[in-house]
Amino acid sequence: MNEVYKEMAGRLIVALDYPDAEQASSLIRELEGIPCYLKVGMQLFYAAGPDFVKDLKAKGYQVFLDLKMHDIPNTVKGGADSITRLGVDMFNVHAGGGLQMMKAAAEGVAQALDSNPSLSKPILIAVTQLTSTNEQMLNEEIGISGSVENAVLNYAQLTLKAGLDGVVASPMESAAIREACGHEFVTVTPGIRPAGSAMGDQSRTLTPAEAIRKGSHYIVVGRPITGASNPRQAAEDIIKEMMEA
């Protein structure tokens, strides 16, 4: 396993979008040995609970807990404390919760680390706009005027001001975020579709290679892997494409 492969595999986040631990575990067995991230979202976490995350960590996986917290600051602070104690490597809040809520999330992380120095600091990121959001939806339903990119950049800069590590955004905004917030500011980009894949419910998508070229630090891939007839080969093909970007 060469270093370039390990680096790119470590930037691939496979979304475990399953209703229960049994189905998720089947995919995990197929991916064994590929040093990628695993993303645990709402459906799986609400079904399998914290013990499933602890089990993934015990097996040596890096885990992105994707719960998109959005609540009053004190509640989010407590949630961030609890999540950090689980030992996850990355988790998120909604930038739409505002500056004080995001600062409270960072305080929750610090509180957990202070109480247990053996814990590692997770990457704390904020969701800007969902990749299913288009300009019409943004303007007419969410009530934010202007382009999706401008809304994303506004939230990214607010996230930076709050002291978080980065944002979730579509790969189409990665380059603009890097320019506005710096190259060290992490971009995690869902909405990745290998050439020939169905878009599904995504509105703003790019291929893995395009996302890497635009500066995405991590790409999130779900159905093109989980729905493939050979998920392991699908993951390996995506990593290869990332390496050739």
What's the CA gap between 105 and 126, in Å, rounded? 10
What's the CA gap between 81 and 74, in Å, rounded? 11
For 24, the token pair is 């998720």
Contact 194, 12 (CB under 8 A): no
Give the type of residue at 233.
Q
What's the CA gap between 12 and 35, in Å, rounded? 9
Q: Which residues are part of the catalytic machinery?
A: 68
Residue 70, Cβ density class (10 Å: 0-12 exposed, 13-18 middle, ≥19 buried): middle
